[in-house]
């Protein structure tokens, strides 16, 4: 059970909720939420014009709303903003969005009633998952459009998934035994002003990227040995004189995984002076991506415990600001996409070397009876396709801005696009690294001596799950199986049992 208090939520906890863990409201939040709501009631009684409470929205902020229409204003806001298009977001992303929005409301700066937060958490725990189209947010006044689709279900509108079936929001809520929520002043606005879509996507993309980072190093170690690379480029002395944290950590991991390698020992006296960059520069390239992911983590850790709606309610009144603007996330998630694209990029170059007999000294395309069999020739085509797609996706969304709301919102972040692209890049990179594992394992099969401790552990696990390609067969299931082993942490776990925790 994950506790939400608006202050201490972790990325691991968000990910756990996304994957099905339940949440609860921390008792410490109750006074803050009630105090914030009381401040809104005070503003209403004073009849001062306050944005989004008794005024219109965006360019219509100068329109005063009559007290008798204030509640309808909030419902109208949700209905009018729910104009998303495209495929539905994955359920895990929506669950993360719900937890993140509830956590933001817990901070006590949104002016909502306690019942609203409780209803949102009840939906989460009963697994009423709103159907949210993935397109429509420009990431400026937060993720207005997708959050409006989330909010629709609270008021028994829209669509939702419940017990594996898609149905109307009202039907889903009724089936789960949750009463329709009647929005009061400020509450509709508090539900949709926030960065929770891009943040949810970012958390999931980052968690998967961090696991990918480990697998990329394992694949790189296997390829290094299969290609008879030297381990000397991983010596600590080299990296201490250029002390980037990621570079030092990756070099240490590579050194540990290749200890005891009979393959490396067998060619220490060969005439080759140095390896290609895709092997020699593994610590510098993957290490740079590791440092980039650390930066993205720091941004997300701040964002998931932030108040991101507008106006914010303080002791001295309601203040309009710009905490909803997605620029911090947009930049970080573009960086995440670029960093992960580079992991796949260098991985594909090692795949290309493995299947090229002129560079590897191994059978062409790692095939038994080449000619009759094509071996792993086309797996490199697939990797090349994915890497090329990533190059297009890695173009930063955050450098674009199209004004909205009659130029009131004249600079937008496009953070939701950065987030969606980042997750797709991670998915593509997972498949590229899975292909490298497939090729590297096949290449190691041709060596008569044992690999290093960590490399050997990975090779043995792969062979327990995916057979050597002795004659041509459909390789797609093999790639999928290896990707599952990677994403479930099985490959990294097998390696770490032999060499200790990877840094």
Q: What is the pLDDT of residues 281-313, one digit of tens each?
A: 999 999 999 999 999 999 999 999 999 998 999
Is 51 among the catalytic positions? yes
pLDDT score at 269: 67
Answer yes or no: is pLDDT of 376 > 80.
yes
pTM: 0.95
Q: What was the pLDDT predicted at 359?
A: 93
Average pLDDT estimate for 193-201 = 96
CATH number of 2-194: 1.10.275.10
Copy the structure tokens of residue 465: 């799950």
Kindly report, residue by residue over 164-174, the tens digit of the pLDDT: 899 999 999 99
Answer whether 123's CB lies under 8 Å from 104's CB.
no
Q: CB atoms < 10 A from the CB of 11, how many?
A: 17
Q: What are the residue boundaries of the structural domains of the chain, listed by start? A: 2-194, 201-307+323-399+411-499
Distance of CA 466 to the CA centre of its chain: 28
In the predicted model, what is the mean pLDDT of the chain? 94
Which member of 51, 162, 277, 295 is catalytic? Answer: 51
Q: How far is CA 227 from CA 94, 272, 435, 443, 446, in A?
A: 44, 12, 16, 8, 11
328: left (phi over 0), alpha (psi -120 to 50) or beta: alpha
Class of domain 201-307+323-399+411-499: mainly alpha
Asked if the model's pLDDT at residue 48 lies above 80, the reply is: no
Question: Rg of the chain over CA atoms, in angstroms?
Answer: 26
- Side-by-side strand order, sheet with 129-130: 129-130, 159-162, 165-168
Residue 423 in tokens? 């997750």
**Distance between CA atoms of 438 and 174, rounded to whole angstroms?**
49
Q: Report yes or no: 198 and 415 within 8 Å, Cβ to Cβ.
A: yes
Question: What percent of the chain stands above pLDDT 90?
Answer: 83
């Amino acid at each position: 059970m994950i506790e939400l208090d608006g202050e201490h939520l972790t990325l691991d906890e968000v990910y756990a909720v996304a994957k099905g863990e339940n949440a609860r409201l921390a008792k410490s939040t109750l006074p803050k939420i009630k105090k914030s709501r009381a401040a809104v009631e005070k503003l209403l009684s004073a009849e001062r014009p306050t944005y989004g409470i008794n005024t219109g929205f965006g360019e219509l902020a100068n329109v005063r709303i009559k007290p008798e229409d204030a509640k309808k204003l909030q419902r109208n806001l949700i209905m009018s903003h729910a104009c998303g298009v495209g495929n539905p977001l994955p359920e895990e992303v929506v669950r993360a969005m719900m937890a993140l929005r509830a956590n933001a409301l817990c901070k006590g700066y949104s002016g909502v009633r306690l019942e609203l937060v409780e209803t949102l958490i009840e939906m989460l725990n009963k697994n009423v998952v709103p159907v949210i189209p993935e397109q429509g947010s420009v990431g400026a006044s937060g993720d207005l459009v997708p959050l409006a689709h989330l909010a629709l279900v609270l008021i028994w509108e829209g669509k939702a998934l419940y017990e594996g079936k898609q149905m109307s929001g009202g039907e889903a809520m009724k089936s789960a035994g949750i009463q329709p929520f009647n929005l009061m002043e400020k509450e509709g606005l508090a539900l949709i002003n926030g960065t929770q879509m891009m943040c949810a996507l970012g958390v999931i993309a980052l968690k998967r990227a961090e696991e990918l980072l480990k697998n990329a190093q394992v694949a790189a170690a296997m390829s290094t040995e299969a290609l008879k690379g030297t381990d000397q480029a991983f010596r600590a002395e080299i990296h201490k004189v250029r002390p980037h944290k990621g570079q030092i950590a990756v070099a240490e991991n590579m050194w540990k995984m290749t200890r005891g390698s009979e393959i490396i020992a067998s060619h220490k006296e060969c005439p080759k002076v140095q390896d290609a960059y895709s092997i020699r520069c593994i610590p510098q390239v993957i290490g740079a991506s590791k440092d980039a992911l650390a930066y993205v983590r720091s941004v997300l850790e701040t964002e998931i415990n932030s108040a991101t709606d507008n106006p914010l309610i303080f002791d001295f009144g309601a203040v309009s600001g710009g905490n909803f603007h997605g620029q911090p996330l947009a930049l970080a998630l573009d960086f995440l996409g670029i960093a992960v694209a580079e992991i796949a990029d260098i991985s594909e170059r090692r795949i290309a070397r493995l299947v090229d007999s002129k560079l590897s000294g191994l059978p062409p395309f790692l095939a038994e009876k080449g000619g009759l069999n094509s071996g792993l020739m086309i797996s490199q085509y697939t990797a090349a396709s994915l890497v090329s797609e990533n190059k297009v996706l890695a173009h930063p969304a955050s450098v674009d801005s199209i004004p909205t709301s009659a130029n009131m919102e004249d600079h937008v972040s496009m953070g939701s696009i950065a987030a969606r692209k980042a997750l797709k890049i991670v998915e593509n990179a997972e498949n590229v690294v899975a292909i490298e594992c497939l090729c590297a394992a096949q290449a190691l099969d041709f060596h008569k001596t044992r690999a290093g401790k960590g490399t050997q552990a990975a090779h043995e696990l792969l062979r327990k799950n995916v057979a050597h390609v002795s004659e041509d067969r459909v390789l797609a299931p093999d790639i999928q199986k290896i990707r599952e082993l990677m994403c479930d942490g099985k490959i990294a776990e097998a390696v770490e049992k032999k060499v200790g925790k990877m840094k």
